[in-house]
Chain A
Amino acid sequence: MEENEGTSLVLRQIGAKSNPLLAPFQTVSEVRRNRFLVRNLVRREVRARYRNAALGYAWTVIEPALLASVYWFLFIMLSGNPDKMYAVWVLLGVIVWGCFSKSLNAATNSLTGNVRTMHLVYFPRSIFPVSGVGANMLVTLMSCLIMIPIIFIYDLPITVHLIWVPIGVFMAGFMALGFGMMMAPLNCVQRDVQHLVRFITRAGFFVSPVMWTAEMAMERGNWGEAALWNPMVLPITMVRHGLEGKLVDLPSAVIMSSAISAVVLYLVGTIVFSKYERGAVKYL
């Protein structure tokens, strides 16, 4: 926004189309330039979510803990005696998957939910999905504080591998951002997209290692191994193994394919977003 204060201002085209292939880099620079705005939007979102609640931010921890206890109970009913860490694995699965699914829904609805702002002010529109995902990542990191008591209760080692916890959360949010940026402009044109995305996040819960772990899948042979090709296996397993105090232990092909799909989602997402967001505003 800062322009040199001079009398000789140069005419430039408003809304000139830039090369869409540069979008992945432009998104980064737009967010960097508007970091104060992103920070304020994230804060607004998080504040609004925990407003007027006596327990306030404690809900970031309580919600996944309650969910996990329900799944843990369900699992015991279905398959009997799990190992003692199972409840923890479910909890972490719920937290990381929640980060992905909430971020994805937030990014998908980030344009349709900010119609008023978009009609009244212009700033780079990538700010909307980025701050939607950012708010959910922040909430997820707060949820991760529950790991501190867990480490003591289960007597887990405190190792350098704990660094994989925030990295896994970030990776889940990053994939949601790429996918959500792809969906956001399409959702402006036809709202069917948000219903489809909601279905994906609900169904994805079962085919991702939330209630099960990568180890369980590998014991099950063909179908189990097929399930490992889900890109969400890596971030969830990364967080679990990080808490356990080890490097993520998955077949390297699975790791590679997941990392590559995260990058591809981001590249395609930003390109699609920058190509279609301009026109999409007119549908709102």
Chain B
Amino acid sequence: MSETSIRLEEITLHFPKQRNIFAIISDFFKKKERKFTALHEVDLEIKQGEVIGIIGRNGSGKSTLLRVISGIYPPDQGEVHAAGDISLLAGLGTGFSAHQTGRENALLYGSILGHGALEMKSKINDIIHFSELGPFIDEPLRTYSAGMKARLGLAVASAINPNILLIDEVLGVGDPNFREKSKKKILSMVKGASTVVIVSHSFGLMSDICDRVILLHHGKIVNDGLPQDSIRKYYEIEGE
């Protein structure tokens, strides 16, 4: 199990800045481009079976890095390679529609996460069971509380079974009871997937489950090593 699962080669990613007509004309004559560099020559190799954490301040490029790996953002320079199918777990309940029932939303969200009709048909009962929504599953989503929506979102999201699992801050939704349950579920998903990359601010969890933690700062990898080393480095930078 020492084959490469994800390889990033000198990934650089810029975000263009929105311009009005005057800026466009003046930039054209000054021959400059307005952009913000979110990732700066990031090199990273992740082996199959590894659980990697990414930490860093807000805006350091953590989520952007996950989005590059999952194919949402094409890098401006460098290449991303990955083995197997990838799922990004972020913002539970993407695409939920308030006017459809919980069941319809489960099917919708499942299809957004990449399931086909047959797969969802076989999974829907487990999903409904895990969500603990009972008869509410056939009520429209607008009648749900925030916690119920989160439960349904997690129930659908946890039914995925990818080779590479990317998790972006989905821990810690709902009431304490459900938070515990969701944490357990995500940990079991982490065990089930062959490669995991987690972005989180809960350092306790990171040092428990991660083999390596990467510290990002201003779009560069500052430290790549044992969880405690990266976390210590994080506080050093934070203290500046």
B85 within 8 A of A: yes
| Residues A37 and B73 in contact, CB atoms below 8 Å apart | no
CB closest chain-A residue, reference B109:
A40
Chain B neighbourhood of A279, CB < 8 A = 74
Chain A neighbourhood of B13, CB < 8 A = 282
Chain B residues 44 to 85 lying within 8 A of chain A, measured CB to CB, are 48, 67-75, 79-85
Given A3-B85, A11-B82 in contact, is the A44-B108 Cβ separation under 8 Å?
yes
Chain B residues 1 to 58 lying within 8 A of chain A, measured CB to CB, are 1, 3-5, 7, 13-16, 18, 48
* Closest-CB distance, B80 to chain A (whole angstroms): 4
Chain A neighbourhood of B82, CB < 8 A = 11-12, 14
Interface stretch among A99-107, A111-119, A213-221?
Answer: A111-119
Chain A residues 222 to 251 lying within 8 A of chain B, measured CB to CB, are none
Interface stretch among B115-123, B175-183, B197-205?
Answer: B115-123
**Which one of B70, B97, B120 has the greatest number of beta carbons of chain A within 10 Å?**
B97
Cα A10 to Cα B94 in complex, Å, equals 29
Given A117-B94, A119-B67, A119-B72 in contact, is the A3-B112 Cβ separation under 8 Å?
no
| Residues A282 and B91 in contact, CB atoms below 8 Å apart | no
Cα A281 to Cα B75 in complex, Å, equals 12
CB closest chain-A residue, reference B96:
A44
Chain B neighbourhood of A202, CB < 8 A = none
* Closest-CB distance, B63 to chain A (whole angstroms): 9
Chain A neighbourhood of B232, CB < 8 A = none
Cα A35 to Cα B118 in complex, Å, equals 12
| Residues A283 and B18 in contact, CB atoms below 8 Å apart | yes
Interface size for B (C-beta < 8 A) is: 48
B135 within 8 A of A: no
Given A43-B104, A282-B16, A283-B16 in contact, is the A12-B74 Cβ separation under 8 Å?
no
Given A11-B7, A121-B113 in contact, is the A3-B95 Cβ separation under 8 Å?
no
* Closest-CB distance, A128 to chain B (whole angstroms): 11
Partner of A281, one of B7, B72, B85: B72
Given A9-B83, A43-B104 in contact, is the A121-B99 Cβ separation under 8 Å?
no
B209 within 8 A of A: no
Q: Beyond A1-B116, A121-B114, A281-B74: 10 further Cβ-contacts under 8 Å?
A: A3-B163, A9-B3, A12-B82, A15-B74, A43-B108, A44-B108, A119-B90, A121-B72, A282-B15, A282-B16
